Amino acid sequence: MKLKQYITKTLREHISEYSGIDISKDTDTEWAAIFKFYNEKVVPAIGGYPGPIRPTNIDTDVYAFHCDLTLVYGRGGAYDLMTESQRQDSDVYYCGDCDDWYYSAEFNEDANRCNRCAEDCDDDDETDSYGVPGYQADQATRRSWKPDPKIPHYGVELETLVKDSNAVNRVYQKIVDHGFLGERDGSLDSRRGIEIVGKPMTFEANRDAWTDLLGALRGQVIGWMAGTGYGMHVSVNRKNLSRLHQGKFLVFIHANKSLCERVAGRKEVHWCAYHAGKKVTDARATHDDKYQAVSLRSEERMEVRIFRSTLSPEGFMRNLEFVAAAIAFTRSHGIGQLRETVFREWLKTGGRRKDYPNLFAKLNPKPRAVEQSPDVLGDLTPTEE
């Protein structure tokens, strides 16, 4: 992202109220005023580095400026600009609902949301007429999930659609009985859509628990056939990975879009965007834009959002295997080796065909008698369910 784009994106909602600048106008006069705002307000907030910007370097890559500034909100909508290190030293909190930072006075720790989102979710916290709780209603349970930082853990969220609206409560009860959370999500059907949330578990524990649940839900719920808008998200505990390893994982996923799309069963959409320009140093951030192929959700969690939902045990495990394989691959390979060709060769050696059987089968299909569509997703048929 260029510095000009960064300033526009970050300050669009706030620069006008501060200085009367219309940020939508891209003229020399307006940008001169924007330079003045940035030089007077932003540069001091980051300790004077890298110094004032000039029209000659407005197209410079933003990463060269280390512009990791975040708006932190206080009373009455007032805000401060802070770097990540400043946030770590301050009494501020991140709200995952609205993707913003707040001082403690504007944050509801019990609800784990800012005050505004906590108020908006009051009604959602109650179960609806189908007996399903609102989005992230059970915060107490979520806060109790503390994966061991010494062991790789994966947390899975699966967006599903119940076939019969009369069976919604029955399906929800099965989800709960198997030890999972079930809740509404604004992106799903308001009556029949249920997001299933599993606690962070080891690879083997995920396989066993989800296989049992998917078997119990067979024939009553769909994921793949619900459409590409229904996804499967896999979270990784960041504490188990070094900062360098996190960065390599970010780069690998974002830089290998065609590979990811083939495994994931859906092409790029706005809620799982790929950014080929990712750098290893991007892993220094505690969080970033939610709607990315891999999103940094907090200091503890990074979330892979690329997969299409599936109720097929083989499809589910293929997705989980891909995340686990990508973690293992990026641990042992250097930055210059994070390519699809190297990954595919790595997958064929060292017994990994046995470790990741569903992923291996997907990337190394047996020849078929009938010629398949050349489309990148051509072999992903409705039989996925």
pLDDT beyond 60 at 334: yes
DSSP tag of 61: B
User: What's the pLDDT at 93?
Assistant: 85
Q: Where does the pLDDT of residue 377 fall: very low under 50, low under 70, confident under 90, or very high at 90 and above?
A: very low
Considering only residues 113 and 379, tell me which one the structure prediction assigns the higher pLDDT. Answer: 113
Cis check: omega of the bond before 152, within 30 degrees of 0:
no
What average pLDDT does range 341-358 have in this prediction?
97
Neighbours of 234 (CB within 10 A): 23
Q: What is the pLDDT of residues 24-83, one digit of tens each?
A: 544 444 556 666 666 666 556 545 444 555 544 445 444 333 344 566 777 655 666 666
Q: What is the pLDDT of residues 88-144, one digit of tens each?
A: 777 888 887 666 788 888 888 777 778 877 765 554 446 888 899 988 888 778 878
- Window from 58-72, 183-197, 214-228 with minimum mean pLDDT: 58-72
Q: How far apart are alpha carbons 70 and 82 in whole angstroms?
A: 5
Bridge partners, residue 301, by sequence = 237
pLDDT beyond 80 at 380: no
The verdict on pTM exceeding 0.85 is no
User: What's the pLDDT at 139?
Assistant: 77
Neighbours of 185 (CB within 10 A): 17
User: What's the pLDDT at 17?
Assistant: 45
Give 128's contacts (C-beta < 8 A, 6+ positions apart): 134, 184
Q: What distances in angstroms separate CA 254 from CA 115, 306, 357, 367, 374, one per listed residue?
A: 34, 10, 24, 29, 23
Q: Where does the pLDDT of residue 354 fall: very low under 50, low under 70, confident under 90, or very high at 90 and above?
A: very high
Q: What is the pLDDT of residues 133-181, one digit of tens each?
A: 988 888 778 878 888 888 999 999 999 999 999 999 999 999 999 999 9
Q: Name the burial class of residue 229, with classes exposed (0-12), middle (13-18) and buried (19+) by CB atoms within 10 angstroms of its CB.
A: middle
User: What's the pLDDT at 323?
Assistant: 98
User: What's the pLDDT at 1?
Assistant: 45
Q: How far apart are alpha carbons 173 and 133 in whole angstroms?
A: 11
DSSP tag of 202: -
What average pLDDT does range 196-211 have in this prediction?
97
Q: How far apart are alpha carbons 351 and 240 in whole angstroms?
A: 24
Beta carbons of 234 and 320 less than 8 angstroms apart? yes
Candidates 175, 310, 301; CA nearest to 232 is 310
Tell me what percent of the residues of the chain surpass a pLDDT of 90.
Answer: 50
Q: What is the pLDDT of residues 2-22, one digit of tens each?
A: 555 655 555 554 444 444 445
Please provide the average confidence, as pLDDT, over all residues in the chain.
Answer: 81
pLDDT beyond 80 at 370: no
Considering only residues 125 and 287, tell me which one the structure prediction assigns the higher pLDDT. Answer: 287
User: What's the pLDDT at 342?
Assistant: 98
User: What's the pLDDT at 41?
Assistant: 64
User: What's the pLDDT at 19?
Assistant: 47
Q: How far apart are alpha carbons 255 and 335 in whole angstroms?
A: 11
Q: Name the burial class of residue 49, with classes exposed (0-12), middle (13-18) and buried (19+) by CB atoms within 10 angstroms of its CB.
A: exposed
Token pair listed for 165 = 């609206």
Give 117's contacts (C-beta < 8 A, 6+ positions apart): 95, 97, 98, 111
User: What's the pLDDT at 243?
Assistant: 94
Candidates 260, 242, 240, 251; CA nearest to 335 is 251
Considering only residues 215 and 21, tell me which one the structure prediction assigns the higher pLDDT. Answer: 215
What sections of the chain are H helices per DSSP?
A: 3-11, 15-19, 28-37, 43-45, 84-88, 115-120, 139-143, 168-177, 203-217, 243-255, 257-264, 313-332, 340-347, 352-355, 357-363
Q: Where does the pLDDT of residue 313 fall: very low under 50, low under 70, confident under 90, or very high at 90 and above?
A: very high
User: What's the pLDDT at 122?
Assistant: 52
What average pLDDT does range 183-204 have in this prediction?
94
**In the chain, where are the structural domains located?**
3-67, 139-363
CATH fold of 139-363, please?
Answer: Creatine Kinase; Chain A, domain 2 (3.30.590)
User: What's the pLDDT at 375?
Assistant: 40
Neighbours of 367 (CB within 10 A): 4
How many residues are listed for the chain in this entry?
A: 385
